[in-house]
Structure 1
Amino acid sequence: MKKEILEKFLSNQCSYNECKDVASYLEGNDDELDKIQLFENLADNEIIHIDQVEKNLLCDAILAKPKQGLLLKRLLIAAAVLLFVAFSFYKLGKHDSPSHLESPLLVEIVNDTESAEWHILPDSSRVKLSPAAKLTYRTNFAKDRELNQVAGEITYFVHANKDLPFRVINQGVQTRAVGTAFSIDDYNNENLIIKLLEGKIVVEDPTDNTDSEIILNNPTAIVVNKVDFTYNHINNNNKDGYKKAWDKERKAIRNNYSESTIAWSNQVVNFSGVSNADLFSIMERLYGVTIDVENPKITNGNFTGELYQNDNLENLLTIFCQINGCNFTIKDNIIRIK
């Protein structure tokens, strides 16, 4: 097999016929393909989001026909990527014939859980999807960093690349960034709310040839009309203050969680096996911060501990990181956990 074809396959850039050639090659390795069922529960994002170093290792491993057991998981992931590339158009329901595979395929991320979810994009940017949020992008995203925010609130932590601007389209409104953190959500039926958390963004109409654009280079929030593109700045601060936020969260918790998971009183809250994702959401609302989880696997765990009303945020984060073997930084109301 030609190495350049295999490299194109591992970069999700193969044509349909090239995919068939790679499939034929891998099908000849019955031992590896028979063991794919060992990884049938591998998450989609682990299958399709492989960095370039990993892809290079896969190329060398497959071409060199490594010894049994050597780089087995990487081989299986490569085979799984092939299945994704060759057959995902059936799953997505977007194409009717193999000829469509010449164009980049559509990838969809949906959060159908009741907790926030973090995902890593192919360009190493991270996104946090609130419940019911949805976005789509093409498989050539690493070269054309445009995605479509379909529903819900999504926060973006953009990997800096000045040559390839990061663009989010939401109902005709484009938000463009080089390297920054921002969120987009529906404000009401007519308007979007866009919050700049860090860095700089340009909000614009991608179909408008004029120079009309909104430039934000300080943390702020704006409400943008989706039709006429008028906008207003709004207060993005936690105007209620910590005490009012505590009382508001305590009342909301009673409706959303059982006391066996979260027991909240006037002075202390006890967490018992609450998911890390839910803990982060509570911390964001309570302290008026934004949490960026650089390793999404951290959100899969649970937290047991307590927080007193007079405790500060750093104490809670210190306890959390001691339990989970991570560390954190705080800058401009953005907490990064890695």
Structure 2
Amino acid sequence: MEESKDQINILLSDPEFVRWVKKPDRDLEIYWENWIAAHPDRLSEVKTAKEMILGIRFSHLEVGGGLKKDVLHRILAGERALMEDPSALRVEKAVSGKLKQKKFLWVHMDQWTKVAAILIFVVLFSLIAQWYAYAPAPLENETAPEIAMISKSTLFGEKLNFKLPDGTSVWLNSGSELRYPVTFDSVSRVVTLIGEGYFEIVEDSGRPFKVVSGDLTTIAIGTAFNINQFNEEKLCISLINGKVKVENNLTEENITLDPGQQLRYFPESGKSSIAKFSAEDIMAWKEGVLKFSNASFWEVVKSLERWYGVSITVSGRPGNSWLLTGDYKNQNLDLVLERMAYIEAFEYSIKQKKVYIKFQ
């Protein structure tokens, strides 16, 4: 509960958040949508803070006819009491000069001037009260501003290289997708990756670059790194050069990587580990090399399907000793399967986009 209150206070004290709520522009809308996407557990706090800002609705104090009559009645009653009790005038004469002068002026005002003065006071009091009285307004009927996003994706058998609005270069492996805004905002650059991608970040110390992939957010300023989440059991972030910080959006754990280090995150357990890696192995796909290192049979099958855009049907069972290591640079599927079949002893056939593998 205290953490939630702290987060709300942080949002309320953030001028960019307040400006987004009250006077949104395209850059702010893009930033906060991506911030919420990166912090889904903070959505309730964002709604509450937004409600507290947008929900300020000042109560209006009406000066009705009854109030006017009551004010006039009190003024006239006061004058009658003053005329009937001359001692009241003597008490007034005993006060200090400035206060005496004010009382003297008040007593000598005509009735309607006094009424007008009091009504002016009531109206001013109403206006002041409006700055302090507020009532939360419901958000259910609000329509969130739509943020223009771009989605780049690759089918199995395809790869794609393109640049982002800030000049950052991206390579997408087969069967991958990257979502990013048409323009980055003035605070940060946030993209969302599914699959595998390699990034060469254009340096901008004032706007960190963030890649959201599953439970993790990789934050960089100017660097190069590869993210692979093809394996549902393991997400790998490999730093080629520079430095990155990886945030776990679930546990809020932060890990900083140095060049040559790979973060391995296991979604099922939520645990992470850091290990060394071979840049040549990690970057092989980008250079058109299909590379295996002690890969199991089913790892090979999934890689072949993704790399060549085919579906593979298997009959029989591969040997328990299957651990494939090999490089296949810009080779067609038939040649790759021929080399594998020679080593692992299986038969295969290719019919258009379907492959049949048979073990004896």
TM over 0.5: no
TM-score, with normalisation over the residues of structure 2?
Answer: 0.38
Q: TM-score with structure 1 length normalisation?
A: 0.40
- Structure with larger RCO (C-alpha < 8 A, sep 6+): 2
